[in-house]
Copies of this chain bind each other. A is one copy, B any other.
Amino acid sequence: MIAPLEELLSALSRLPGIGRRSAERIAFFLLAKPEEGRRLAAALAGLDQVTRCPQCGNFATEGLCPICRDPERDRSTICIVARPWEIAHLEKTGEYRGLYHVLGGLISPGQKVGPEDLAIEGLLSRVRAGGVREVILALEPKLEGDLTAMHLLRALKPLGVQVTQLAQGVPVGRDLESADELTLGRALKGRRAL
């Protein structure tokens, strides 16, 4: 096998969910259709433009993200997620019109992630700035999500804001991304006060 092909197979095999056989299928597709390879390369180069929203931590291209910038969104509600891609998933439900806040992870004693490693101060500043009535915790119903929820509840309660969490429609013990839109939409509707 020639070097450029080996390098492509090896780069493709490192992607999640792509085994050696899938990598071969993709590589031969790209060799047969060079325009698709150029399209993918251009899209990869475009990732350099991706920044983070200085307010909520969502993906953005410059300044605030499209959600924080949208005047139609309800600024009295902030939905907390661990990772920025969970926002896209919640948005697909069409059930939520508020803002978001990305923690950047979850408290995990095993992986030595403490509250100080997460964007919690930024969240508290946003709440202290006023106008926020409800904070929705959209965290995974596993140990780390529960630990983080407890910590946030303790930090937010003194600020006089209502803290709710997604209803247990979210499948227990699985990633938030694995929930379908309907389940996530129901979980948002059925959120309960803590």
Contact = CB atoms under 8 A, between A and B. Distances in A.
Interface in A150-193: 177
The quantity of this chain's copies bound in the complex is 2
Q: Is the interface of A mostly helix, strand, loop or mixed?
A: helix
Interface residues of A, number: 51
Given A16-B26, A26-B17, A59-B31, A43 B3 contact: no
A71 interface: no
A69 B1 CA distance: 13
A129 interface: no
A5 to B, nearest CB: 6
A65 B16 contact: no
A40 B16 contact: no
A94 interface: no
A24 B8 CA distance: 20
Given A14-B39, A39-B14, A1 B47 contact: no
